[in-house]
Chains A and B, each alone.
Chain A
Amino acid sequence: MIDRAARLERIRVLLDERRHPERRIGIFSATNLTRLVLRLVLMGVVGGLAQRVLPSGPIGVTLTALAIGAADMAFGRAWARVQGQVQRGFRAGTSVLVVVLLLGTLVALLGPNSGIGRGLRGAGSDFLAEQNARLDRRNRARGIAVDPAQASGADWQLLIADSLLVKGTYREAEAWCRELGPGWGLPGGLGNLPTLSSWPTLERPVSVWAAGRSAIQIGDGQRPSVGSSGGYRDTEVKVVLCVQGGP
């Protein structure tokens, strides 16, 4: 009798979907995904409890399977009662979300100097700056090992600490090189490279600060031919190469 009533209900739903295909629940719809998650969670909980209580072996496995199956069927019946409400709830929620997004877009487009627009942009740029600073901190902590004998030449010096190349911001690099003594400073950039007795040879190429907030790539023992003209953040860190007679 229960089966007949349930079948009648299923047929009525099928007939309704036949008349209104747009009411069908798509595979990737929020309603279907909610159903899937709840169903799996319930079966997982029931299965876990059953395995904990029941003995291991074929009998335990069979009873666990039965418990999971029973939970699945019970969930199916309960869900059939609330599915309509869940679908309507998600539909309403989606509408609210769309309205909020539209309003946000309007504010951003029509009022670029409004308080909300400035606040949104400020929050975005703050987040970006925070993420960049985090990456820079991580980069600073990541050491590059170097043989101390290869860290200096007649007229140049790579700053090291405990056989690791020291990394710093541009301002720090400038100050550290000045501290080495009169005549010491950062090397010039690609168009203004100093003439050194030799260039550093490292296990892999590294980017070092150069005058004017630019950078050059060293490490192959050759005069640098790769570099960047600038555009770095204040918190950005690089390996520090100091040269005598630098700019």
Chain B
Amino acid sequence: MFGLTEFYVNEDELDQLSDVELARLEDRLRLEQELDVRKQAQLTAGRVIVFLLSALGIALTLMIFARVVPTERLGPLNIPLYLMAIGAGIGLGHGVWYVAGYAVRNAVRWVLGHWPVVLFILAALARLSGG
């Protein structure tokens, strides 16, 4: 998926890579895990985002269908339409995360990876702003 399956890394050459190349490599490996639906599930920050983006994508696709498709074809038994919406939504969610870029992905991973600290900061901010 997204051209990641042909990705190849020689572990012996890792030390020769620059810091930037290592950061890109780590991002690429993480992205590969986050977007790969075939392997054993492992909850990582990126996977949570992909899940949420997919849910958002499904909702968005359904909204578009509701506007575009004639009302008489939107019955509860139009299974192909819903399957199409789910597929398109999941594809959209994965696609958005793929094109989000290295900086955005890393920032989101950091924030979600330190969620207890982030929660504390948000709670503290809410308390301070509330007096």
Interface residues of A (CB under 8 A from B): 3-4, 7-8, 10-12, 14-15, 17-18, 21-22, 24-27, 32, 39-40, 43, 47, 58, 61, 64-65, 68-69, 72
Contacts and interface: CB of A to CB of B under 8 A. Distances in A.
Contacts of B127: 61
Interface string B24-64: 01100110110000011111000000000000000000000
Nearest to A65: B121
Contact of A12 (B11, B39, B43, B114): B11
A187 to B, nearest CB: 57
Contacts of B39: 21, 24
A90 to B, nearest CB: 16
A25 B26 contact: no
Report, as a range, how many residues of chain B touch the other chain: 20 to 34
B69 interface: no
B19 A14 contact: no
Contact of B117 (A22, A27, A72): A72
B116 A14 contact: no
If over half of B's interface residues share one DSSP class (helix, strand or loop), that class is named, otherwise mixed; here it is helix
Contacts of A72: 114, 116-117
B107 to A, nearest CB: 16
Nearest to B113: A76
A69 B41 contact: no
Contacts of B40: 21-22, 24, 26
Nearest to A16: B11
A11 B124 contact: no
Contact of A15 (B11, B41, B43): B11
Given A47-B120, A61-B128, A14 B42 contact: no
The 3 lowest CB-CB distance pairs between A and B, nearest first, are A27-B43, A21-B39, A14-B29
16 contacts: A3-B19, A7-B22, A7-B26, A8-B15, A8-B22, A11-B22, A11-B29, A12-B11, A18-B29, A21-B40, A26-B41, A26-B43, A58-B128, A68-B120, A69-B117, A72-B117
